[in-house]
Structure 1
């Protein structure tokens, strides 16, 4: 994604909100998908889901996906879903880092996500209601997973977060690469 402000400094923090279910269309929920997220901290939120401006380690919490584990393994230790921004760890010397790996044990499909961004919003569609989709299929709670690379949410109001202000003459660039394989 690319954006350029015309004549004023502009906060820019684009994200792609695609839902993924590696089991395929109308295959049920994603609670058995395994997820690994290369982020050792999160930006905790208040009761309105606004970041507090602090960073919190994921170690020994339900947010710890540093090693692969099923989405549903600790989801009920939370308010019923994951909807949190991870502070991504730099995983290589290149301009892109591996951000996350998702696997469906039934289909054998695997998705890797690579990006140049500092954050990843992890959302497990816990607020998704019965939504009519393709071919009349009903998409239910936990029907998909969203992995949104981004700058930190609410950066403009959090001085400790990396700035998302882009000045005229500068270009905002955001790279995401999805890599799919199957076993």
Structure 2
């Protein structure tokens, strides 16, 4: 039986009250989510000895989240990942967005969905968050209503269901930006994680991390994760010298299927990602600065990995990429889950 409890997590700088919701199941797994940014602030799961550890990055207070330099834990929208030059054209009109990752737009702009207050309600074992993004917010057209449902199950799965509607044609692509370290959020680099991703192709990028438009086979490349590899054995071989920041084009067409699996054999934990999205971005946190996290933990480059279930980056500027334009009368839907367990 899953329970949900609510407590206070302080106030934002502008005085908004922030609530924290703790979802708990019969296996001692707990997930904590804030109504600020739809932020996953804690995921506690047992290891093979029954020891409980928090396996996602986060902060102890609102000051940490409001200064958050790496989108740690937040819901990303209205468009995840990068848009080249902060520009796109729709129905004959060019839109110019904020450039918050020079020279590009990234993860919703200066005030994306991870930096706003969501309206929260609890229905049975589900936490339901809603945010209405006004027409023109971050220079996007249309009023967009997003509803995100978090559900923790008794098989240690955190399921996230997204639905979005709009009043005008507009790009939409949401994701959750949790950072995972299955050894525990403060245990250092992720070299000893093993990983596989079910993708035959990926998107090469230019010097500004924008897709070139090519959809390239992973055959013979260090980015190829179709067979499980130890991250520490390949992370330094990725072109550019910054580890993985790679969009994998998943081998399915919208079905809810397994996309990725990670294992930490020291603790016996594994994590699987299932999604309906066409892609997943693997990011091994090279740009996370040295900083203090929860409980005095020290974070920095390569201290965690993110799996961002998403549409292709810069899709609005590549007609052969999966469409992300949502029209009035349509509903954007996505289901992604993160399932934790112990290696047999």
TM-score, structure 1 as length reference: 0.94
- Aligned partner (choices 143, 165, 168) of residue 4 of structure 1: 165
Residue 246 (structure 2) pairs with residue 84 (structure 1):
yes
More strand by share: 2
Distance 1:63 1:83 in 2: 10
Aligned-partner Cα distance in 1 for 2:339–2:247: 22
User: Aligned to 2:336, which of 176, 179, 182?
Assistant: 176
Superposed displacement of residue 80, structure 1: 2.3
Matched-pair contact (CA < 8 Å) for 2:281–2:309: yes
Distance between the aligned counterparts of 2:314 and 2:228, measured in 1? 28
Aligned to 1:50: 210
Question: Paired residue for 1:72?
Answer: 232
Structure 1 unaligned spans of 5+: none
The residue number in structure 2 matching 1:120 is 280
Distance in 1 of aligned mates of 2:323 and 2:282: 21
Hey, what's the Cα distance between the residues in 2 that align with 1:80 and 1:10?
33
Give the CA deviation at 1:26: 1.3
Root-mean-square deviation (Å): 1.3
CA distance in 2, matches of 1:105, 1:59: 27
Give the conservation status (yes or no) of the 8 Å contact 2:185–2:304.
no
Q: Which has the higher contact order (CA 8 A, sep 6+)?
A: 1
| Aligned mates of 1:25, 1:165 — CA distance in 2 | 36
After superposition, give the CA deviation of every residue in 1:61-82 in whole Å (9 maximum; x if it has no partner): 1110001001121111222210
Question: Is it true that 1:144 corresponds to 2:300 in the alignment?
Answer: no
Deviation string for 1:114-171 (max 9, x for gaps)? 0001011110011112111011111121111000110101110001101100110101
Question: In the comparison of the two structures, how many residue pairs are matched?
Answer: 180
Q: Which runs of 4+ in 1 moved over 6 A?
A: none
Aligned match of 1:23: 183
| Equivalent in 36, 46, 57 of residue 196 of structure 2 | 36
Q: What secondary structure does 1:40 align onto? A: strand
CA distance in 2, matches of 1:75, 1:179: 24
- Structure 2, unmatched stretches of 5+, are 1-161
> Scaled by the length of structure 2, what TM-score is found?
0.51
